[in-house]
Structure 1
Amino acid sequence: MRIQALPPQLINQIAAGEVVERPASVIKELVENSLDAGSSRIEVDIEQGGAKLIRVRDNGAGIHSDDLALALSRHATSKIASLAELERVSSMGFRGEALPSIASVSRLTIATRTEGQSTGWSITGDGGDQVTAPEPSAHPQGTTIEVRDLFYNTPARRKFMRAEKTEFSHIETQLKRLALSRFDVSFTLTHNRKEVFTLPLAEQPLEQERRLSGLLGSSFVEQVLHLDREQAGLSLRGWIAKPVFSRSQADMQYFYVNGRMIRDKLVSHAVRQAFQDVLFHGRHPAFVLYLDLDPMQVDVNVHPAKHEVRFRDSRMVHGFIYRTLHHVLAETRPGQEVDRNTGEIRLVESEKAIIDSAPAVAAYQRPLGFHVQERQANYQSSFDIQRPEFPEKSTDQTEPDAQVPPLGYALAQLKGIYILAENETGLILVDMHAAHERITYERFKQAMEQGRISSQPLLVPVSVPVSAREAELAIEHQALFGELGMEVDRLGAETLVVRAIPVLLHGADAEKLLRDILSDIVIHGTSDRIRNDINEVLATMACHGSVRANRRLTHEEMNALLRDMERTQRSDQCNHGRPTWVQLDLNTLDKLFLRGQ
């Protein structure tokens, strides 16, 4: 066949195949246009899962009547006009393909009015090459777009649509993602004339948490840590759920770059690394995170549906995300508080003082050399167990009030497994093995970091054939290999030799280790593989070195363990993501015994 130009209608339908996958894709494109128009209110009406009707109404800037016909022309947009603007684009849409693509596979009507026009205008397309001329139409400021009979003229595409319930589920999920991207916009969703949800404006922290609760569930909000960090032109804010709120699948992960929902392997890797030693294998973290950076530092023009982006300095972005989440997760320990305005996580000053000032008397695990001790005067004999006597509040205002540590004081040991303690709020239950395992693990890691990773020469160096590019990367990153306890040299253009590996990885496959690290460097610009492998060894050592079930502890040992939990990072959960302690406040206990009812 000879080369020939494709008909405009076929071009639009090909573009629709990339942009309009299903009704939810239409929702994404239309709502993003509404957001770009500066809307503060967006209403979405759906009938029959989007197959019969999709209507999106907003109160944005509207479309000028002279531009309506252009709105249904390919590559016509008001959002960019030059390459320079494309490289700094901050709007959700900019390709000028969405409306003509949708119009080519449906019956589409646009009704709109701008602020300066005395009347509204409308235009209609029926899936063909022609559209009607703009006609006057009664309409408030803003735009309403109706998409009827989606894929009516492309039967093959319509056959791929699922059941009404399934398609609407995708629509609801898509609108949730959009609603989480813009708390300064109200959203309403209606299906078959029944309201599904209404989300009012949520510009204050508590209002935002109510929107999170409505979209992701109250249990998510109850377990989240808020964060807000800035560094080197990068800003990361949002919410991550504590490791105890992990998921069996990655269904509650929302990541936005400059307000745009994206799926990115680099981001996913950084998040996984941050949660690496606080989650069970196969479990997935939950989060809603927003990364903001200079639009020049991210390319959003790499995917037709704009699901993916490309960072110009991927290593810097990866490191920033990892360090920020790693720091926030490190502060999950008893006695912390979150500032709702700044998102800062810190120890309550009064509790920090009581933790840091606790003198020492007895160790709870002498073989590991931990010597955290308690005042003997704080205990008395009662009910055949030693129970703490909480200090009374000082009546002299010149002296600070005595404080009780966050985890209180030990009352007893239950079945050789749990420690029961009393604090100012009520009853504390501690899994002593899980808690001690985390404490031991964190101290092993600190010792490794302070002494660096020791290496051990191989009796027989291992030659590894690689590509020329991989050999160059190995030489470029020799300092990194040195930090990781590996000695790697280049023997030839395509040959490397491993002369030493970390002591704790004695017996490991040196060739596989080298190849895996090189693969990480190629993809992410760095590698934490050796550190992760060593951490697994340390975790195993910590597990075997921690107090076991059925070991009887004295009250001094139990209280020493409580104080160490308050000092140790990530002590809210063990190395496998299980909680180490729970709080039962008096209200909860009263409900168990029907008190006050």
Structure 2
Amino acid sequence: MTSTIHALPTEVVYLITAGEVIDSLASVVRELVENSLDAGATRIVVSLWPQQWRVRVADNGCGMNLDDLQKAAATHSTSKIYTCADLWKISSLGFRGEALHSLTNLSNLEILSRPAGENWGWRVVYSDGGKVEQVEVAAIAPGTVVNVSNLFANCIARRQGLPVVAQQMKAVQTTIQQIALCHPQVTWQVQQNDRDWFTIYPASTSKKLLPQFIQQVKEADFQEVKLAIPHPSNSENSALSTQNSELTLVVGLPDRCHRHRPDWVRVAINGRMVKSAELEQTILAAFHRTLPRDRYPVCFLHLDISPDQINWNRNPAKTEIYLNEIGYWQEQVTQGIEQALRLSSANIKEAVHITRVSKLLKAAEAKGGYNFNPKNPKEDNNQQSALNNPYSLKAVAQVSNTYIVVEHSEGVWLVEQHIAHERVLYEQLCDNWQMIPIEPAIILYQLTPKQVAQLQRIGLDIETFGEQLWAVRNIPAMLQQREDCADAILELSLGGDLQAAQVAVACRSAIRNGTPMSLPEMQTLLDQWQRTRNPRTCPHGRPIYLSLEESALARFFRRNWVIGKSHGI
């Protein structure tokens, strides 16, 4: 019997490898702009002609000399790593040495480049396999221009298997936005069919960049937190590492912005957007009970950690990784989100107007007969909140037995008493879910087997007491003094997990709207509320307070007017 196993021809091997790295227009853009960023570029121009299967990426990076250009597209050629050990020290975006070589097997490739300090540059055209086909002097600015044309010409089936042009362009836009979010200081110009498509302007932080990507949000709708994090204590290299890792979080404040889908939960590590189901689930869990039902947070997490904690060598796109000590990083992310959602002068910058305040002031001005357009509508996003300590908020009055009027150094707040108390009670229940015995037992009627099982699941001691009768012999401690305790237990029997039960108990036990409160009672509630971990929203996701800043009030009452001039004097 003759052998059927044989070595694949070199050109087949190259095509297989190329197909793993380059599978779409978006992947071409990703690989080329990552090379630009590795070259230190601060301005990148991406031009696309999708119907012609053509891409051009130009940058102002460090450029390449002729020797490097002649080697650039050879198989597995790179300037990023040299030995096996370097795979555990990856600090660049590219390192495999596959992208340019793959493009020579799937398209026509030419590169023009000029190093800074040289008087001229070079243009190199490559043939299949990365061989140099043509070399000539080129007059270009310092930097690099890569032209890819006739993509997938030798693999027409690949073209036919890709989505329609509009979907491919959407993928390109998403790819560029994700990379830009990790490198906010870079200017991006993107063109399609020789027309300007979109521009991304540089920003000092990712927080300042996000409003360019998400409609109808402002910088003040986000909170950014940066934390220095020590290496895991049980890490093999922790004793050798002298530099701490850094965690950067940009969080959409839950009372201001959220999404119908989890499409803006993004994770980046060391300058590259990655897929990490563990970290994404950690983010979603940290926002649980702070958002309305079926809504998702806006959150960008960027971890800058020691390369020895990461194995990038998992797939060609480098988006799926192995992260050592994943439990440790999950814990740090949870703590970072808790800090971002907390109210304190160290981390809250209130806008003069949030959306609800703008609408309120516009309505008030309309009723007052004003027709006023401020000369400078730009909002001051640099005001610091006055919440330095639990006593910085002062209860002044109660409106409609529902809202607490709160004074602080920079304006006035309205706090809804019921949901503020609900947040306090919910976190107390989460920290100390205590069941206490009661005597006599509470008798319930006509429970279904499902309701009985639900009460047992959340810790209630329930047993048959007669035909269609059940006796409940312990209850959550917070319900002990309530006259409607039986109704509350029936509510708990209708379904949900322990957290849902805790929310239900907190809601039923909180001070009702319409209940008169004394000033000391209101002040006590304010002090307790400020100490909660997530003070912006109740467990159902509703906003707890409305802020009227002093500058907004001054604008409304026209305190900047000169009285004499306003009377025509």
Instruction: Give the structure-1-normalised TM-score.
Output: 0.69
Residue matched to 1:442: 427
Residue 583 (str. 1) matches residue 537 (str. 2): no
Choose from 537, 544, 547 the match for 1:573.
537
Match of 1:20 in 2: 22
* Alpha-carbon distance in structure 2 between the residues aligned to 1:303 and 1:26: 16
SS of equivalent to 1:574:
coil
2:393 and 2:406 in contact (8 A); partners too: no
Q: How does 1:331-350 map to 2 (within 5 A)?
A: 331-332=342-343, 337-338=347-348
3-state SS of paired residue (1:101): helix
Structure 2 partner of 1:232: 230
Task: Kindly indicate whether the alpha-carbon contact (under 8 Å) linking 2:24 and 2:162 is maintained by their aligned counterparts in 1.
Answer: yes
Measured after TM superposition, the shift of residue 60 of structure 1 is 1.6
Tell me the SS of whatever aligns to 2:213: helix
Q: For residue 196 of structure 2, what is the aligned residue in structure 1?
A: 195
CA distance in 2, matches of 1:91, 1:47: 29
Mapped to 1, the partners of 2:130 and 2:70 lie a distance apart of 12
2:289 pairs with 1:291: no
Q: Quote how far apart the aligned CAs of 1:37 are.
A: 1.4
Say if 1:412 and 1:421, in contact at 8 Å, map to a contact too. Answer: no
Match of 2:331 in 1: 319
- How many Å apart are 1:303 and its aligned residue? 1.2
Using a 3 Å threshold, how does the CA distance of structure 1 residues 314 and 421 change in structure 2: closer, same or farther? closer
- Counterparts of 1:116-127 in structure 2, within 5 Å, are 117-125=118-126
Which residue does the alignment assign to 2:254? 243
The yes-or-no answer on 1:132 pairing with 2:133 is: yes
Residue type matched to 2:314 in 1? V
Q: Which of 38, 41, 45 is the equivalent residue of 2:40?
A: 38
* SS of equivalent to 1:183: coil
**Secondary structure at the residue paired with 1:561?**
helix
1:409 pairs, out of 387, 396, 404, with 396
Q: 1:105 to 1:349 in 2, by over 3 A?
A: closer
Instruction: Write the distance in 1 (CA, Å) between the matches of 2:159 and 2:109.
Output: 16
Q: Deviations over 1:132-154 (max 9, x none)?
A: 13222222222100112322221
1:273 to 2:285 alignment: yes
1:201–1:221: structure 2 CA closer, same or farther, 3 Å change rule? closer
Alignment of 1:517-536 (within 5 A): 534-536=498-500
Q: Is the 8 A contact 1:411 1:422 kept in 2?
A: no
Q: TM-score, normalised by structure 2?
A: 0.72
Contact 1:62 1:141 in 2 (8 A): yes
Between the two proteins, the alignment pairs up a number of residues equal to 463
Q: 1:160 to 1:591 in 2, by over 3 A?
A: farther
Q: 1:67 to 1:407 in 2, by over 3 A?
A: same
Alpha-carbon distance in 2 for matches of 1:410, 1:134: 81
Residue in structure 2 matched with residue 474 of structure 1 by the alignment: none
After superposition, residues 428-467 of structure 1 pair within 5 angstroms as: 428-448=413-433
User: Could you say what secondary structure the match of 1:198 adopts?
Assistant: strand
8 A Cα contact 1:151 1:158, kept in partner = yes
Deviation string, structure 1 residues 116-138 (Cα, Å, up to 9, x no partner): 65432222246678651322222
**CA 1:39–1:429 in structure 2 vs 1: closer, same or farther (change >3 Å)?**
same
Aligned counterpart, 1:96: 97
Deviation at 1:350, TM superposition (A): 6.4
Aligned partners of 2:22 and 2:197: how far apart in 1? 23
The Cα shift of 1:299 comes to 0.6
Structure 1 residues 232 and 563: alpha-carbon distance in aligned structure 2, compared to 1, 3 A threshold: closer
How do residues 426-575 of structure 1 correspond to structure 2 at under 5 angstroms? 428-448=413-433, 504-506=458-460, 534-553=498-517, 557-575=521-539
CA shift, 1:554, in A, is 5.2
Deviation of the 1:572 alpha carbon: 1.4
- In 1, are the aligned partners of 2:343 and 2:387 still within 8 Å (CA)? no
Task: Tell me the equivalent position of 1:106.
Answer: 107
Cα 1:550–1:339 shift into 2, 3 Å? closer
The SS at the match of 2:74 is coil
Contact residue 114 and residue 142 of structure 1 kept, 8 A: yes
1:169 aligned residue: 170
Give the Cα separation in 1 of the matches to 2:337 and 2:549.
29
Do the aligned partners of 2:385 and 2:410 also contact (CA within 8 Å) in 1? no
Q: Is contact 1:186–1:199 with CA below 8 Å preserved after alignment?
A: yes
* SS across alignment from 2:301: strand
Q: Aligned in 2, Cα 1:545/1:98: closer, same or farther, shift over 3 Å?
A: same
Asked whether the equivalents of residues 408 and 423 of structure 1 are also in contact (C-alpha less than 8 Å), the reply is no
Distance 1:96 1:70, change over 3 A: same
Change (3 A) 1:409 1:160: farther
Q: What pairs with 1:357-396 in structure 2 (closer than 5 Å)?
A: none
Given that 1:407 and 1:566 are in contact with CA atoms closer than 8 Å, whether structure 2 keeps it comes out as no
Name the counterpart of 2:150.
Answer: 149
Structure 1 pair 10/594, CA: closer, same or farther in 2 (3 Å)?
farther
- How far, CA to CA, are the matches of 1:227 and 1:285 in structure 2? 16
Task: Name the Cα RMSD after superposition.
Answer: 3.5
Q: CA deviation at 1:57?
A: 0.6
**Change in CA separation of 1:545 and 1:43 when aligned onto 2, cut-off 3 Å:** same
Measured after TM superposition, the shift of residue 411 of structure 1 is: 4.4
What is the CA–CA distance in structure 2 between the aligned matches of 1:279 and 1:101, rounded to whole Å? Answer: 45
The alpha carbon displacement at 1:300 in A equals 0.8
SS at match of 2:106: coil
Contact preservation (8 Å) 2:343, 2:530: no
SS in 2 for 1:547: coil
What is the CA-CA distance between 1:406 and the residue it aligns to? 3.8
Alignment CA distance shift 1:7-1:133 (3 Å): farther
Whole-angstrom CA distance in 1 between matches of 2:127 and 2:426: 66
**Distance in 2 between the 1:55 and 1:561 partners?**
61
The 3 A distance-change label for structure 1 pair 202 and 348 is closer
Q: Which residue is 1:3 aligned to?
A: 5
TM-aligned CA distance change 1:565 to 1:48, over 3 Å: same
